[in-house]
Chain A
Amino acid sequence: MKNSGSSVDQTAGLPRRPAHGQLNSERREDESRTYTMRVLVIEDDKETALFLQKSLKENGHTADLAHDGEAGLALATEGAYDVLIVDRMLPRLDGLSLIKSLRAEGNRTPVLILSALGEVDDRVKGLRAGGDDYLTKPYAYSELLARVEALGRRTAPEEQQTRYTVGDLVLDRLSHRVTRGGEHILLQPREYRLLEYLMQHAGQVVTRTMLLEHVWDYHFDPQTNVIDVHVSRLRAKIDKNFDRQLLHTVRGAGYTIRDGPA
């Protein structure tokens, strides 16, 4: 996990989450409530930038602003940020070139690309340039927030974890077994992957589009809320016969899995 190393270096000295590796569900959950990210928003439209800054602040994060590519690159290189939000079309230095030079310097800060260009090709180009996620304008703020928070967490060594635990729900990634309160729950392969993704982001909001992209690897508009049916089927399996609900619907945003109120 070389990513986590560089991330720790960048963010050293900041009042942040505890060291990686000792994560369990309870800690993660507590952490997510107090979790503060430093975000750099590189966006030439000042109104949008200010809106993002204000909204991120409301969600407990701090955001710096840069209004052109060069200033953005300078700030991103010097400052230690958890996530960069980069508009694709920027004056002086376009977003993709900015990301490329950042990556060439060895900076691996997660980048969310914002773009008015939303076709499959543009996405591929954005990710190829070194972006970690791609969001098309116009977007819902809840979608942006969920993605930024997911990216901020990405530096954690999730891949090494072999067990996800939320309350009494346990998912064992080695045996592909899911149990709740010790009781074995039988899941379809897709339901398993859905749960795995939700638990990987336990405590965070996960949007329908994120599920579609990560669980199904689809980057197209499914027209109807097909995801909801899948989630409700999963919910029926893991929550139905239990008093405590773990899988919550977050209105206007998506879903979250956590032990406690949504």
Chain B
Amino acid sequence: MTALLDRVAKAASTTAFGLSALAVAFFLFAAAIVVGVLFWQTNNLLTEQVLATLTGEARILTSEMKVGGQGKLIETVTALSRPQGTGLYYLADPNGTKIAGNLNRIPPELEAEGHGGVFTYQQMVDGKEKTHLAVAIPVDLGPGLRLIIGRDVEDQRAFADSVRTTFLLGFGVLSILGLLGGLAVSRLIVNRMDEITATSRQIMDGDLSRRIPTSGKGGELDSLAASLNQMLDRIENLMSGLREVSDNIAHDLKTPLNRLRNSAEAALRDPRGGEAYREGLERTIEKADELIKTFNALLLIARLEAGALEESTETFDLGRFAADVSELYAPAAEEVGFVLSIDMEQGLFVSGNRQLIGQAIANLIDNAIKYSRGGEPGSVITVRACLLEGRPAISVGDHGPGIDAADREKALKRFVRLEASRTKPGTGLGLSLVAAVARLHHGEVRLEDNQPGLRVVLLLSNKCLIAAPQHEGDAEPGLAAQ
């Protein structure tokens, strides 16, 4: 019982209940106005009718008095005055002595005034005296006589009373139903809210897999639940990404750390002494440098994902810059049997972080060299800068083994090194750094089939575009040619 009361009290204290109570009150107020006006109008109409009847009768009685004199009048009044009729009469002489009629006295309500009005009188009904409501007007018969005629309107009053009662009852029922409805609605909402609250508590306690149930009816609570669920998905994604990263850090940083430690120990144990120490220390430094590289890349990605680097945004010729970076790699690529083909559109000016875009291009070329085989007829790495879908883009394509369509999404993730590449040197952060640079420039990275091989496209946002290439212009050919 108390539990139920508690729940009702809880529902009653909700915003939803407050709003529905307000709506019920407003509705009742409007209904009261309508009913009140209707009642008042009807009552008026009926009263006027009675008055009109009385006025007509007064005229008849007056004419009878003129024609038949006092005697005739007394006769008529006496005849009309039935003990329980609705017509009420009172005829008195100048002294106030009653001559005829079924009223016992001049109603005190009418005594003061010379005109008609509403009064109450006692009537015997079935041997019981009852107070009835009546309307009466005085009839002017000249000096001497005093006549009051009236009509019993008790029926009308009864009607009015019953109408009033009905309405009051109706209002009562309406209010109760309305408030109950409000309670029911708020209970529904409170239940949904309780679900959401309970779910968020569980999530706070660490169960990130929980989701807020949706009713599937598509209401605003459902859409709220849906967006909260999406937010939770995103958080869970980030969390699992984080977990994955820390697992990978554990692997990709701890393994080389362990190797570094091993090599230092091995050098210490080496019986050759001095020379072995030197070699060991050199190896240690080399391995430390590799670690630092991985660490730097990791920090850079985290930094890029955290937000914009406004300070170092500059405007530059993307094509020329990409050609420039390619030129840095060209000798190294040739050394291992690659042809670096550069295809640049002229006059493609972008605003962005030149150093980071340079790093991205460098990573892509470096990957292309690392993951495809040089020294064969088709060992061409193509670096292209162009406008793609209205956005500045750089693509680096090779004719190596490529990446399966299914694995492409995965390849962009941090530390992911597809099986084929596990044995190659590198941090496993190259592509995810490219992706982070793309995101920083509100762009994206696409991995495509180069038929054969892999083509990585780094797309910047169209907001980065400062000037587009002029195709009909006087572009000098062969700038990019190496």
- On A, residues with C-beta under 8 Å from B are 118-121, 123-125, 136, 138, 140, 190, 216, 218-226, 228-230, 233, 252
| Minimum CB–CB distance for B295 against chain A, Å | 9
What are 11 pairs between A and B in contact, CB < 8 Å?
A120-B355, A123-B312, A138-B292, A140-B289, A190-B327, A216-B328, A220-B359, A223-B362, A224-B332, A230-B328, A252-B285
CB–CB A119/B303 < 8 A = yes
Minimum distance in angstroms from B19 CB to a CB of chain A: 51
Enumerate chain B residues within 8 angstroms of A222, measured Cβ to Cβ: 328-329, 362, 366
Query: Which of B311, B332, B355 interacts with A226 by CB under 8 Å?
Result: B332
The majority secondary structure among interface residues of chain B is: helix
Known contacts: A220-B359, A222-B362, A223-B366. The answer to whether A124 contacts B311 by CB under 8 A is yes
Q: Which residues of B contact A119 (CB under 8 A)?
A: 299-300, 303, 309
Instruction: Decide yes or no: A229 and B331 within 8 Å by CB, A218-B358, A222-B366, A224-B366 being known contacts.
Output: yes
With a cutoff of 8 Å between Cβ atoms, the chain A residues found around residue B353 in the complex are 120
Contact A216 B324 (CB under 8 A): yes
Q: How many residues of B contact A (CB 8 A)?
A: 34
Report Cα–Cα, A117/B289, bound state, in Å.
Answer: 17
Using CB atoms, name the residue of chain B closest to A219. B355
Q: Give the most central of A136, A140, A223, A224: most B CB within 10 Å.
A: A223
18 more contacts with CB within 8 A, not counting A119-B299, A123-B312, A221-B297, are A118-B296, A120-B309, A120-B356, A124-B311, A190-B327, A218-B328, A218-B358, A220-B356, A220-B358, A220-B362, A222-B362, A222-B366, A224-B366, A226-B328, A226-B329, A229-B331, A230-B328, A252-B285
Cα A229 to Cα B293 in complex, Å, equals 21
Residues of B within 8 A of A233 (CB): 331
Is B355 within 8 A of A218, CB to CB? yes
Q: How far is the CA of A220 from the CA of B355 in the complex (A)?
A: 6
The docked-state distance in angstroms from the alpha carbon of A260 to that of B369 is 37
Q: How far is the CB of B275 from chain A (nearest CB, A)?
A: 15
What does the 1/0 interface line of B205-229 toward A look like (CB < 8 Å)? 0000000000000000000000000
Seen from chain B, the residues whose Cβ lies within 8 Å of a Cβ on chain A are 282, 285, 288-289, 292-293, 296-297, 299-300, 303, 309-312, 324-325, 327-329, 331-332, 335, 353, 355-356, 358-359, 362-363, 366, 369, 426, 430
Report whether A221 and B355 are in contact in the complex, using a CB–CB cutoff of 8 Å.
no
Residues in B with CB closer than 8 Å to A225 are: 332
Q: Which residues of the other chain, B, contact A140 by a CB distance below 8 angstroms?
A: 285, 289
Q: Give CA–CA (A225, B331) in the complex, Å.
A: 11
**A229-B335 in contact (CB<8A):** yes
Provide the residues of chain A in CB contact with B369, threshold 8 Å.
224
Q: Which residues of A contact B296 (CB under 8 A)?
A: 118, 136, 221
Q: Which residue of B lies closest to A125 (CB)?
A: B311
Task: Determine whether the beta carbon of B366 is less than 8 Å from that of A120.
Answer: no
A118 to B285, CA, bound (A): 20
Contact, CB under 8 Å: A223 / B324:
no
Give the complex CA separation of A123 and B312 in angstroms.
9
Report chain B residues within 8 Å CB of A123: 312
* B362 and A229 within 8 A (CB): no
- The residues of A that contact B430 with a CB separation of less than 8 Å are 223
Q: A120-B353, A121-B312, A229-B335 are in contact. Are A221 and B293 (CB under 8 A)?
A: yes
Alpha-carbon gap, A31 to B331, bound state (A) = 35
Q: Are A252 and B282 in contact (CB under 8 A)?
A: yes
**Complex alpha-carbon distance, A184 and B77, angstroms:** 153
Residues of B within 8 A of A221 (CB): 293, 296-297, 359, 362
- Shortest C-beta distance, A141 to chain B (Å), equals 10
Contact B309 A121 (CB under 8 A): yes
Q: Which residues of A contact B297 (CB under 8 A)?
A: 221
- Give Cα A111 to B89, complex, Å: 124
Look across to chain B and name the residue whose beta carbon is closest to the beta carbon of A251.
B282
Q: How far is the CB of B440 from chain A (nearest CB, A)?
A: 11
Question: Which 6 pairs, one residue from A and one from B, show the smallest C-beta to C-beta distance?
Answer: A220-B359, A229-B331, A223-B366, A121-B311, A121-B309, A229-B332
CA distance A51 to B356 in the complex (A): 33
Complex Cα gap A220–B321 (Å): 14
* Minimum Cβ distance to chain A for residue B158 (Å): 91
Residues in chain A near residue B300, CB distance under 8 A: 119
Closest to B295 in A: A138
- Chain A residues with Cβ below 8 Å from B356 are 120, 220
> CB-CB < 8 A to B426: which residues of A?
223
Contact present for B331 and A226 (CB under 8 Å): yes
What chain A residues lie within 8 Å of B309 (beta carbons)? 119-121
The closest CB in chain B to the CB of A222 belongs to: B362
B312 touches A120 (CB 8 A): yes
Q: How far is the CA of A123 from the CA of B359 in the complex (A)?
A: 15
Residues of A within 8 A of B310 (CB): 121
Q: Collect the chain B residues with CB atoms within 8 Å of residue A220's CB.
A: 355-356, 358-359, 362
CA distance A224 to B452 in the complex (A): 25
Smallest Cβ distance from A225 to chain B, in angstroms?
A: 8
The CB with the most chain B CB atoms within 10 A, among A121, A225, A230, is that of A121
Once the chains are docked, how many angstroms separate the CA of A125 from the CA of B312? 9
Cα distance A140–B293 in the bound complex, in angstroms = 13
Query: Chain A residue with minimal CB distance to B300?
Result: A119
Question: Nearest Cβ in chain A — how far from B436, in angstroms?
Answer: 12
Nearest-CB residue, chain B, relative to A212: B328
Compute how far the CA of A207 lies from the CA of B359 in the bound complex, rounded to whole angstroms.
19
A230 to B327 alpha-carbon distance, docked (Å): 10
- Give B293's nearest chain A residue, CB to CB: A221
B334 to chain A: closest residue by CB: A229
CB distance from B426 to the nearest CB of A (A): 8
Residue of A nearest to B310 (CB): A121
**B363 CB to nearest A CB, Å:** 6
Q: How far is the CA of A179 from the CA of B366 in the complex (A)?
A: 35
What are the residues of chain A within 8 A of B328 when measuring CB–CB?
A: 216, 218, 222, 226, 230
A216 to B325, CA, bound (A): 9
Across the interface, name the chain A residue whose C-beta is closest to B311: A121
The smallest beta-carbon distance between B355 and chain A, in angstroms, is 5
Inter-chain CA distance A121–B327, complex, in Å, is: 25
CA distance A107 to B3 in the complex (A): 80
> In the complex, A233 Cα to B333 Cα: how many Å?
13
Q: With A124-B312, A218-B358 known to touch, is A223 a contact of B363 (CB < 8 Å)?
A: yes
CB distance from B438 to the nearest CB of A (A): 15
Q: How long is the Cα–Cα vector from A223 to B325 in the complex, in angstroms?
A: 13
B289: min CB distance to chain A, Å: 7
What are the residues of chain B within 8 A of A224 when measuring CB–CB? 332, 366, 369
A55 and B285 alpha carbons, distance in the complex (Å) = 17
Q: Chain A residues with Cβ under 8 A from B324's Cβ?
A: 216
B355 touches A230 (CB 8 A): no
User: Please, how many angstroms separate the alpha-carbon atoms of A229 and B369 in the complex?
Assistant: 15
Query: Nearest CB to that of A228 among chain B residues?
Result: B332
Residue of A nearest to B366 (CB): A223
